[in-house]
């Protein structure tokens, strides 16, 4: 069964450093998402991406964050200058295109980011 994959599974970085989290969505999917979960808190929506542009973003997704689909298979989340509060589990998700948005979002296993 096709699945969403994410790399790395764990990343430790110093505050102020740039990190890139990578995701390979399911191949025929057209909508892509990033969510994060700070330890002990809810899973929060960050950004959705469709047709090579951001379709929606949350207040969390400020100028320090960017997303890209560089080569038609990977979907990346870049944090330009990490802060301590960026430490979280980051989930990528993808889904097929359909009217009404009822298709299931499939999630990757997550990347645990620790900012020191």
Q: Which residues sit at the interface with other proteins, rule CB under 8 A?
A: 4, 31, 33, 35, 41-45, 48, 50, 55-56, 58, 91, 93, 97-102, 104-110
Q: How far is the CB of 93 from other proteins (least distance, A)?
A: 8
Nearer to other proteins by Cβ, of 14 and 99: the residue is 99
Strand locations in 8-64 (E): 10-13, 19-24, 31-37, 43-50, 53-57
Query: What's the token pair of residue 31?
Result: 């909508």
Smallest distance, Å, CB 98 to other proteins? Answer: 7
* Residues in CB range of 83: below 8 A, 6 or more apart: 15, 64, 115
CB of 15 to other proteins, least distance (A): 27
- The two three-digit tokens of residue 11, written as one number: 């990343």
Q: Are 104 and 97 in contact (CB under 8 A)?
A: no
Least gap, CB of 16 to other proteins (angstroms): 29
The answer to whether residues 54 and 91 touch, using CB atoms and an 8 Å cutoff, is: no
- SS3 of 49, please? strand
Choice between 42 and 52, CB closer to other proteins: 42
Nearer to other proteins, 14 or 39 (CB): 39
| Cβ distance to other proteins smaller for residue 14 or 101 | 101
């Amino acid at each position: 069964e096709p699945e969403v994959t994410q790399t790395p599974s764990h990343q430790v970085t110093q505050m102020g450093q740039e990190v890139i989290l990578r995701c390979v969505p399911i191949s025929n999917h057209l909508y892509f998402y990033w969510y994060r979960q700070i330890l002990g808190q809810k899973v929060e929506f960050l950004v959705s991406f469709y047709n090579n542009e951001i379709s929606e973003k949350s207040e969390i997704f400020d100028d320090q964050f960017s997303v890209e689909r560089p080569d038609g298979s990977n979907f990346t989340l870049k944090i330009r200058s990490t802060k301590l509060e960026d430490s979280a589990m980051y989930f990528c998700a993808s889904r097929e295109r359909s009217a009404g948005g009822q298709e299931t979002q499939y999630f990757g296993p997550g990347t645990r980011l620790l900012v020191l």
